[in-house]
Structure formats: structure tokens, C-alpha cells
């Protein structure tokens, strides 16, 4: 049985593939992604380079743990590197285990 997260990811992927758009003209795609991110509680800034967007997550004021003299990220956490790695791993595993071999 699919987990709720797996089912949601599958539905999003199917939606995006059902309505493909060409590069720099992804108006509906940008709207779809922005809606998802906003629903998840992220602050979405639109119109970056045309149809691009940036989303940020703010949790508290960043002082909850103290810094103990160690540099920390501020409360607006940038997770580009993390999400790209997670996405790359997900698609690599999908290609290996879920797609039929031609």
C-alpha cells in the first residue's frame, strides 16, 4: 500500500506530466508549485526570472538553540542543496526500481 506521501508525490508528478509547458513559459506549472508550497506553509516569492519562484520557511526567530559561538543558519532556512540531493536520489531510485526495463 502506498504511503500518503508517496501517493501525493505520484499525483503531483502525474499532474505536471499531464500539462507540460515549454521552458520559460511554465505559467501553470509555476502556479501549481506555488500553490503546493504555500499550502505547506512556505513563503513563496514569484516572478524570479520570469516564471521561477523562491520559497522559504520561517520557524521562530532562529535563537531557540543559541549558537554557543558556532555560526548557524538564520530562521529562513535555505534548503536548495538538500532538496536537490533528495530529489536526485528519489528519481535515481525510481529509475532503478520502478520503471520497466526496455
Is residue 81 over pLDDT 60?
no
What is the b/e burial string over 45-71, where b = at least 16 CB atoms within 10 angstroms of the residue's CB? eeeeeebebebeeeeeeeeeeeeeeee
Is residue 66 over pLDDT 60?
no
Q: Looking at per-residue confidence, does 56 or 47 come out higher?
A: 47
| Per-residue pLDDT band at 46 (split at 50, 70, 90) | very high
Domain extent listing, the chain: 4-57+73-97
Whole-number average pLDDT of the chain: 76
| Per-residue pLDDT band at 74 (split at 50, 70, 90) | low
With the C-alpha atoms ordered 13, 15, 18, 22, is the resulting torsion angle positive or negative?
A: negative
Is residue 8 over pLDDT 90?
no
pTM over 0.95: no
Amino acid at each position: 500500500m502506498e504511503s500518503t506521501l508517496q501517493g501525493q508525490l505520484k499525483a503531483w508528478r502525474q499532474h505536471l506530466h499531464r500539462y507540460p509547458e515549454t521552458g520559460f513559459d511554465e505559467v501553470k506549472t509555476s502556479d501549481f508549485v506555488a500553490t503546493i508550497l504555500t499550502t505547506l506553509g512556505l513563503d513563496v516569492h514569484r516572478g524570479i526570472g520570469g516564471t521561477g519562484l523562491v520559497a522559504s520557511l520561517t520557524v521562530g526567530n532562529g535563537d531557540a538553540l543559541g549558537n554557543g559561538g558556532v555560526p548557524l543558519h538564520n530562521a529562513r532556512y535555505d534548503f536548495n542543496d538538500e532538496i536537490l540531493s533528495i530529489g536526485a536520489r528519489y528519481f535515481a531510485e525510481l529509475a532503478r526500481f520502478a520503471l520497466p526495463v526496455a
